[in-house]
Amino acid sequence: MKLKFLGLGALLAMFAMPAFAAQLNVPMNESSVVHLEGDATTVIVGNPMVADVTVIEGNGLVVHGRVFGNTDVTVLDGAGQEILSLSVSVTDRWRGGVALHTGGTQPSQRASSVNYVCNPDCVRALHPGDQPEAAEDFANQTGAWQDLTQRGMGLGEE
């Protein structure tokens, strides 16, 4: 009887093993390689504007930091089992940052924030809850930068 419970416990433990979870910090416009414990069949990126992912030879990923921010990457194998859960932060080389939180002076004004990644100079980073005007400006600049990098610049263009 005792042996049956040990076998059942081992079987349950085998199926209850969680996927590998990790944190990855990637500098903007740079890439990092992530090695997997199995072959990737499906890769899900929470926010592809923040990071791009390419599968290499089935058991590796290249994560490219596109714009400052945070996202997640989930990797599934051929059986649909999660083999990796990855939190990705696209940062400057140094992982420091500053968040400026403001509250309205009137009851009708809502609190908001503006976020920066610093190394040593601070660069704007977009986060939920940011001031709408600042977020819109940042999104427009980011879109223009992505458009330029996707299209490529010809010689002599600025």
Rounded to whole angstroms, how far apart are CA atoms 10 and 23?
29
Strand ranges across the sheet with 51-56? 31-35, 60-65, 51-56
All structural domains of the chain, each given as residue ranges with its CATH number in brackets, are: 19-91 (2.60.40.1380), 96-151 (no CATH)
Q: Is the CB of residue 26 less than 8 Å from the CB of residue 90?
A: yes
Rounded to whole angstroms, how far apart are CA atoms 71 and 126?
12
pTM for this predicted structure: 0.52
Using DSSP, state whether 37 is helix, strand or coil.
coil
pLDDT tens column, 23-80: 999 988 899 999 998 999 999 999 999 999 999 987 899 999 988 889 999 999 999 9
